[in-house]
Amino acid sequence: MGWKSSITAAFLLLAGVDAQAKLQVNLDSTDSIKSAAKVVAANLWNYYDGYKPGRTPGILPGPPPGGDYYWWQGGAMWGTLIDYWHYTGDETYINETIRSIIFQADAPRNAFMPVNWTASMGNDDQGFWGMAAMLAAEVGFPNPTGANDPGYLALAQAVFNTQAARWDTEFCNGGLRWQVPHTNGGYNYKNTIANVVFLNIAARLARYTKNETYAHWAEQAWDWTENVGYIKPDFNVVDGGHTEYNCTDINEVQWSANAAVLIHGAAIMYNYTGNTKWRTRTAGLLNQTIEHFFPEGIMVERACELEDRVQCNVDQHSFKGYMHRSLATVAIVAPFTKSTILSVLRSSTKGAVNSCLADGTCGFRWDRNSYDGDKSRGPAGQEMSALAALSTLLLDQKHVNLGPLTNDTGGTSKGDASAGVGDFQEVDPLRPIRAGDKAGAAIVTILVLGSFLGSLVWMSGGWGQK
């Protein structure tokens, strides 16, 4: 017995040591990158249970306190998995991706505004689902097959239409507010993310459909965001300001998600228009993005990933993936950026891989050369980021180099220019208050403190200005 248990102990010890072994990837080999990405994707999938009976399709467990994740991060995950399919060809997650997008689009309106998620319904939250749908159209992701299913293009158009209708000229000379329902905390915050997600979708719709109306809105969203001072002359991108201060009380914190979504939209506008103005913007944003977020060539979320400690929340733990995915697309649609981007994506991905264990568990700190053990705040975000980094390194492929599809170049997604508009009940509870709604509104206000950029504002002191 003693002999046997010693062997067992030795075996477990070895297994333990083995579990700490690093993920092995040869970044010069497509096959090696694909197999590593597959391991990381499978690891990410462990955090998702929406395919199980009785669980809600499309969402990561949440929102807090019921689970770590807000609704928007589900949309971000499907976008990540659509890109994973695009770059690697792995079909494993296709069915659940389609089902989830259609489910959370929420028929009959199909504009990603399910009443369940009203308490965290920011324009950005809705927009992350809209960007996933737009991506599905652009990469020719298998279309939904249900007789009443909307096309991906129509879903993105519905998000665009609902947001264009919210453009608010009463305060700050224009712009979108952060939150949709006026009872949500943060309704008075006009922030960069809400406006650049709108710009991003408008730009991509313009390019996909060649409808100039979308391009006009993308121009307007840029102009507003720049004029109000959120895009600086040196192309640093800051967070936002409040309506009661005419948006002049600018919160200067720099989140990579703002810069990532913006540079993607700007590069698409450059590709669509061929205009020097958009080329200069793309070049300037790239310059500053690399300068600020990639010190030493490896991505760092500098506002919360400090030298001696990490104070990023669950949302922020997922930001690196959006940057890698955006930059990969910028490299394709604005080829003058390609060699610069390939080089920084490669060095940063090397850092990402060095943070991963052999079972595909990846860390948040990519510049530490080992797994950081950071499990408590959104491990799904770390997995999404590492998966995005690995996948997008495969950007130099023929089908990727053709660029995002358009309606004229092989895109098959069904559109509907008036999607999302019509006689639908707005999520904004400006409606007459009925019994029971008052308690609901209080809960809404409390919950939103933790929703997407809300905690960012709070963390950097901006929240106190409310």
Ligand X SMILES: *[C@@H]1O[C@H](CO)[C@@H](O)[C@H](O)[C@H]1NC(C)=O
Least separation, in Å, of the C-beta of 270 and ligand X?
6
* Rounded CA Rg of the chain: 22
Alpha helix locations (H) across 186-318?
A: 192-209, 212-227, 256-273, 276-293
* Intra-chain end-to-end CA distance of the chain, in Å: 67
Q: Is 283 in the site for ligand X (CB under 6 A)?
A: yes
Least separation, in Å, of the C-beta of 56 and ligand X?
5
Q: Is 211 in the site for ligand X (CB under 6 A)?
A: yes
Judged by CB, which is closer to ligand X: 105, or 362? 105
Least separation, in Å, of the C-beta of 89 and ligand X?
13
- Note whether 84 and 76 are within 8 A (CB): no
Judged by CB, which is closer to ligand X: 138, or 315? 138
- Note whether 80 and 90 are within 8 A (CB): no
Judged by CB, which is closer to ligand X: 133, or 333? 333
> What is the number of the residue whose Cβ is closest to ligand X?
403
* Chosen residue from 30, 287, 445, 460 binding ligand X by CB under 6 A: 287
Least separation, in Å, of the C-beta of 271 and ligand X?
4
Contact pattern from residue 73 through residue 102 relative to ligand X, giving x for each residue in contact according to CB under 6 A and a dash for the rest = -------------------x--x-------
Which amino acid is residue 262, in one-letter code?
L
Number of neighbouring beta carbons within 10 Å of residue 146: 10
In 3D, which of 294, 292, 318 has the Cα closest to residue 385?
Answer: 318
Contact pattern from residue 231 through residue 270 relative to ligand X, giving x for each residue in contact according to CB under 6 A and a dash for the rest = ---------------x------------------------
Contact pattern from residue 152 through residue 171 relative to ligand X, giving x for each residue in contact according to CB under 6 A and a dash for the rest = ---------x----------
* Chosen residue from 123, 271, 316, 348 binding ligand X by CB under 6 A: 271
Q: Is 114 in the site for ligand X (CB under 6 A)?
A: yes
**CA separation for the pair 242, 256 (Å, rounded):** 21
Q: Is 104 in the site for ligand X (CB under 6 A)?
A: yes
Q: Is 403 in the site for ligand X (CB under 6 A)?
A: yes
* Chosen residue from 333, 352, 387, 456 binding ligand X by CB under 6 A: 333
Q: Is 358 in the site for ligand X (CB under 6 A)?
A: no
- Structural tokens at position 334: 């604005």
* Chosen residue from 30, 32, 227, 243 binding ligand X by CB under 6 A: 227
40: part of which helix (H) or strand (E)? helix 30-45
Judged by CB, which is closer to ligand X: 18, or 296? 296
Judged by CB, which is closer to ligand X: 369, or 401? 401
Q: What is the DSSP letter of 251?
A: B
Q: Is 226 in the site for ligand X (CB under 6 A)?
A: no
- Note whether 72 and 124 are within 8 A (CB): yes
Q: Is 209 in the site for ligand X (CB under 6 A)?
A: yes
Burial class (CB in 10 A: 0-12, 13-18, 19+), 5: exposed
Least separation, in Å, of the C-beta of 407 and ligand X?
4
Q: Is 332 in the site for ligand X (CB under 6 A)?
A: yes
**CA separation for the pair 466, 463 (Å, rounded):** 6
Q: Is 312 in the site for ligand X (CB under 6 A)?
A: no
Q: Phi and psi dihedrals of 152, rounded to 5?
A: -60, -40
Contact pattern from residue 14 through residue 33 relative to ligand X, giving x for each residue in contact according to CB under 6 A and a dash for the rest = --------------------
Least separation, in Å, of the C-beta of 235 and ligand X?
6
Q: Tell me, by CB under 6 A, how many residues bind ligand X.
A: 32
Q: Is 347 in the site for ligand X (CB under 6 A)?
A: no
* Chosen residue from 106, 249, 359, 372 binding ligand X by CB under 6 A: 106
- Note whether 384 and 43 are within 8 A (CB): no
DSSP string over 118-171: GGG-BHHHHHHHHHHHHHHHHTTPPPP-STTPPPHHHHHHHHHHHHHTT---SS
Burial class (CB in 10 A: 0-12, 13-18, 19+), 43: buried
Burial class (CB in 10 A: 0-12, 13-18, 19+), 465: middle
* Chosen residue from 32, 35, 56, 243 binding ligand X by CB under 6 A: 56
Q: Is 334 in the site for ligand X (CB under 6 A)?
A: yes
**CA separation for the pair 455, 380 (Å, rounded):** 18
| Chain residues that interact with ligand X, rule: CB under 6 A | 56, 92, 95, 103-104, 106, 114, 116, 161, 172-173, 209, 211, 213, 227-228, 246, 271, 274, 283-284, 287, 291, 332-335, 401, 403, 407, 415, 417
